[in-house]
Amino acid sequence: MKIAILSRKKSYYSTARLVEAAEQRGHQALVIDTPRAYMNIASHRPEIHYSGKALTGFDAVIPRIGASITFYGAAVLRQFEIMGVYPLNESVAISRSRDKLRSLQLLARKGIGLPVTGFAHSPDDIQDLITMVGGAPMVIKLLEGTQGIGVVLAETPKAAESVIEAFLGLQVNILVQEYIKEAGGADIRCFVIGDKVVASMKRQAVAGEFRSNLHRGGTASVIKITPEERSTAVRAANIMGLNVAGVDILRSNHGPVVMEVNSSPGLEGIEAATGKDIASLVIEFIERNARPNRTRTKGRG
């Protein structure tokens, strides 16, 4: 097969591993720096050009689209879909998963366990918003944050009020959430491929910190998950329409709750923690599923 990988850099761990796994399995892999691709969207002959040449003959495309280029990245991926190339994750599913509010609404509608969560922009009654999610201690998040930045634990109602007021002044979307104290500063990353959790790791925050992000000094280790956690992760990925996803779960007193579903989960942490060759599992999934014109949505809806 000829596989395109949409990624900013060949040298990124995940990208390099996917290229390596594809080549080991006898495929050809080309890394495309997404913003540099340009397209002719004419209906009779849709094309994508890169470095002066038309990209042709691809069987599959692996999107590794960073949050900062979601909009253009989704357009390039959609163009591949229109040309009949099989996408590992569809453009519609990626756009959907990048919108946290939309994602959590979809998951909630389908009955997936979530922390009690509220969304707000310019709430006209901050007290009521705080009460709505069960009061302090509570977590307040900037909707646009990543790597734990913009995630605050407000221990008291006064602190919660101050943080919400501060965010209000910035005119940003915020999410207020029940604090899952019993998770003990740990979360579980489930790596889903198709209808299976192929690997899972526990990320534990450093002492005195509740955010387990590896970027915040958290440490990863292998963990055995329960059947309920397994099915929750697979269902969450499925509801988002993602074939490959990183589903982050907290262990709460009321069962597993999903925090987020990532459409371009990194391979470095999970391969290191579990010793599993996840890159090859991704390529094997493509081998089993790639067919021309198999995109369900082709950018619709």
Query: What six digits make up the tokens of 134?
Result: 């069960």
Q: Nearest 10 degrees: CA dihedral of 116, 122, 126, 132?
A: -20
Question: Strand, helix or coil at 155?
Answer: coil
Alpha helices in 40-180 (DSSP H): 70-82, 91-98, 100-109, 126-132, 157-169
Tell me the window of 49-57, 128-136, 137-145, 232-240 that interacts with ligand ADP (CB under 6 A): 137-145
Tell me the window of 17-25, 176-184, 229-237, 286-294 that interacts with ligand ADP (CB under 6 A): 176-184
Contact between 148 and ligand ADP per CB under 6 A: yes
The minimum distance between CB 142 and ligand ADP, in angstroms, equals 8
Q: Which residue has the tokens 């000829």?
A: 2
Q: Which of 81, 90, 187, 229 binds ligand ADP (CB under 6 A)?
A: 187
The minimum distance between CB 184 and ligand ADP, in angstroms, equals 9
Q: In Å, how far from its chain's centre is CA 179?
A: 21
The amino acid occupying position 228 is E
Distance, CA of 204 to CA of 184 (rounded, Å): 8
Distance, CA of 4 to CA of 215 (rounded, Å): 29
Contact between 94 and ligand ADP per CB under 6 A: no
CB nearer to ligand ADP: give 55 or 133: 133
Which strand (E) or helix (H) includes residue 224?
none
Q: Which of 76, 92, 93, 139 binds ligand ADP (CB under 6 A)?
A: 139
Contact between 210 and ligand ADP per CB under 6 A: yes
Contact between 183 and ligand ADP per CB under 6 A: yes
Tell me the window of 16-24, 62-70, 103-111, 172-180 that interacts with ligand ADP (CB under 6 A): 172-180
The minimum distance between CB 189 and ligand ADP, in angstroms, equals 9
Q: Which of 105, 213, 238, 280 binds ligand ADP (CB under 6 A)?
A: 213
Distance, CA of 17 to CA of 26 (rounded, Å): 14
CB nearer to ligand ADP: give 64 or 202: 202
SS3 letters for 182-201? HHCCEEEEEEEECCEEEEEE
Distance, CA of 173 to CA of 83 (rounded, Å): 36
CB nearer to ligand ADP: give 19 or 250: 250
> Under a CB-based contact definition with an 8 Å cutoff, are residues 73 and 272 in contact?
no
Tell me the window of 4-12, 72-80, 205-213, 263-271 that interacts with ligand ADP (CB under 6 A): 205-213
- Residues near ligand ADP, by CB under 6 A: 115, 139, 141, 145-148, 151, 177-180, 183, 187, 205, 210-213, 248, 250, 259-260
